[in-house]
């Protein structure tokens, strides 16, 4: 890799999430001494307008003016390769990745450029690992997806609990919740809380989830060993000490953690950790309504005609929570989230084959603005870790998960420094 390249380039910079990433990068560049970086997209005019707006919003007009602008179009392979060849790490914010991701991954591998994105689409991620892992290893580059809210909190959270367990960790249950104060929601101005791009990825992910079993069978022909005690999924689950209900979260987190644990078992001979994640749905009536709404969404996403309605009228079908304009700053900056993570296993020296788990550790991952703040922090921290600590990453490259790629790095320190907090509570023995 040529070392006269830019440190990183943000592709899809004029999109909603791309813009938020550029704003965060203005601070990260100064904070972590990133001397050269760029933005890329298909419109020179929009990129120029973006950097002008970012300069005004951050108060760093001269720094914004100095950022390199690169023209690249998802439909122009030559422009993608030119973009990738000009940087050490490509930060891809152009989704849905099912539709637009593979040409960028291909260009990055062929240009010997590291790659990170914020995909929450298991089919895309596993297809890329199946198709490009050997080429990425040969090229000496890391291709790492799910570097945002999907699924840094969960994947790195499991690794964090494992590192602090001091024994054998068998399973982790994660309980996710989010909150927006009423006074912030009142100022949403009809803009909702989720941008259209996130909705579009979700619709396509559900529509094609039947592809995943065949992909996974090709990717992992050898199954993980059967573990005891088995961690089973529960429906309408209550967390200890909480009177409200939790439902299974059907995002990418379990898929990503599974891939991490699979690779750790077969590559590093480590005992895999079982993982289940839930989200807080509220009281009984609200939980029942959520189940019916989820089933209705699933059915609509599966059929082409109704799927097109979901994509055409997101505000209507999301009851105002999704808009093409995206949420306003006051809503994003007042959206609080947390993952309460409970790990169970055996203390050091215990006979794990003949005794029940006798130790528990509790941790928390928390922050603000999950989709467009914490996501940008996690994404840029991942890119900077590749720049600064590639010697601590496994092998010399490949398509891998965040947990596998960053397990021995200081990524969690970077996240803590930028208000994506990882905390551990004192381990307790299970009576």
pLDDT at 3: 56
Q: What are phi and psi of 360, to 5 degrees?
A: -135, 140
Q: Give residue 428's pLDDT.
A: 65
**Cα–Cα distance measured from residue 418 to residue 301, given in angstroms and rounded to the nearest whole number:** 36
Tell which residue, 159, 179, 199, 152, has the closest CA to residue 321. Answer: 199
Residue 1 is predicted with a pLDDT of 52
Q: Could you tell me the strand order of the sheet in which 6-11 lies?
A: 68-71, 37-41, 6-11, 87-92, 114-117, 142-144, 398-400
pLDDT at 309: 95
Residue pLDDT tens, the chain, 431 long: 555 899 999 999 999 999 999 999 999 999 999 989 999 999 999 999 999 999 999 999 999 999 999 999 999 999 999 999 999 999 999 999 999 999 999 999 999 999 999 999 999 999 999 999 999 999 999 999 999 998 899 999 999 999 999 999 999 999 999 998 888 888 777 888 888 988 998 898 888 888 999 999 999 999 999 999 999 999 888 888 888 999 999 889 999 999 999 999 999 999 999 999 999 999 999 999 999 999 999 999 999 999 999 999 999 999 888 998 888 888 899 999 999 999 999 999 999 999 999 999 999 999 999 989 999 999 999 999 999 999 999 999 999 999 999 999 999 999 999 999 999 986 666 65
All structural domains of the chain with their residue ranges: 6-148+377-406, 152-372+410-429
pTM: 0.94
If you ran DSSP here, which 8-state letter would residue 70 be given?
Answer: E
**128 CA to centre of own chain:** 16
Residue 345's closest CA among 163, 179, 152, 184?
163
What is d(CA 322, CA 94) in angstroms, rounded to the nearest whole number?
18
Query: Which pLDDT score is estimated for 429?
Result: 65
SS3 193: coil
Instruction: Report the relative pairing of strands 37-41 and 167-179 from DSSP bridges.
Output: unpaired
pLDDT score, position 291: 94
Domain 6-148+377-406 sits in CATH at 3.40.50.720
- Beta strands (DSSP E) in 150-270 are 167-179, 194-195, 245-248
Contact 367, 374 (CB under 8 A): yes
């Amino acid at each position: 890799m040529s070392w006269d390249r830019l440190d990183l380039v943000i592709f899809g910079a004029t999109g909603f999430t791309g813009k938020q990433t550029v704003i965060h990068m203005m601070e990260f560049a100064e904070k972590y001494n990133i001397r050269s970086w760029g933005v890329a997209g298909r419109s020179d005019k929009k990129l120029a307008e973006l950097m002008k707006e970012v300069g005004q919003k951050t108060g760093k007009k001269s720094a914004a003016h100095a950022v390199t602008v690169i023209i690249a179009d998802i439909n122009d392979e030559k422009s993608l390769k030119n973009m990738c060849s000009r940087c050490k790490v490509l930060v891809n914010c152009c989704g849905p990745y099912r539709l637009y991701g593979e040409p960028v991954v291909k260009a990055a591998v062929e240009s010997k450029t590291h790659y990170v994105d914020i995909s929450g689409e298991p089919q895309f991620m596993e297809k890329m690992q199946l198709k490009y892992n050997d080429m990425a290893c040969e090229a000496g580059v890391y291709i790492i997806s799910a570097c945002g809210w999907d699924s840094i909190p969960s994947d790195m959270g499991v690794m964090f609990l494992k590192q602090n367990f001091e024994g054998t960790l068998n399973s982790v249950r994660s309980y996710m919740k989010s909150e927006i104060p009423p006074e912030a929601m009142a100022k949403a101005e009809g803009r909702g809380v989720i941008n259209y791009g996130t909705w579009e990825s979700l619709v396509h992910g559900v529509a094609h989830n039947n592809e995943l079993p065949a992909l996974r069978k090709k990717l992992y022909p050898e199954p993980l060993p059967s573990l005891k005690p088995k961690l089973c999924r529960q429906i309408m689950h209550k967390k200890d000490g909480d009177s409200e209900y939790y439902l299974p979260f059907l995002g990418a987190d379990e898929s990503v953690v599974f891939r991490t644990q699979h690779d750790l078992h077969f590559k590093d001979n480590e005992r895999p950790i079982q993982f289940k994640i839930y989200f807080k749905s509220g009281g009984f009536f609200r939980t029942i309504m959520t189940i019916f709404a989820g089933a209705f969404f699933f059915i609509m996403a599966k059929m082409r005609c109704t799927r097109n309605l979901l994509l055409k009228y997101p505000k209507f079908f999301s009851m105002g929570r999704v808009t093409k304009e995206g949420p306003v700053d006051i809503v994003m900056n007042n959206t609080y989230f947390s993952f309460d993570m409970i790990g169970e296993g055996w203390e050091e020296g215990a006979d794990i084959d003949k005794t029940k788990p006798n130790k528990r550790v509790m941790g928390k991952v928390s922050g603000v603005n999950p989709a467009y703040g914490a996501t940008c922090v996690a994404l840029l921290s991942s890119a900077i870790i590749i720049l600064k600590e590639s010697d601590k990453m496994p092998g010399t490259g490949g398509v891998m998960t965040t947990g596998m790629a960053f397990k021995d790095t200081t990524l969690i320190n970077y996240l803590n420094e930028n208000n994506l907090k990882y905390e551990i509570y004192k381990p307790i023995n299970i009576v």
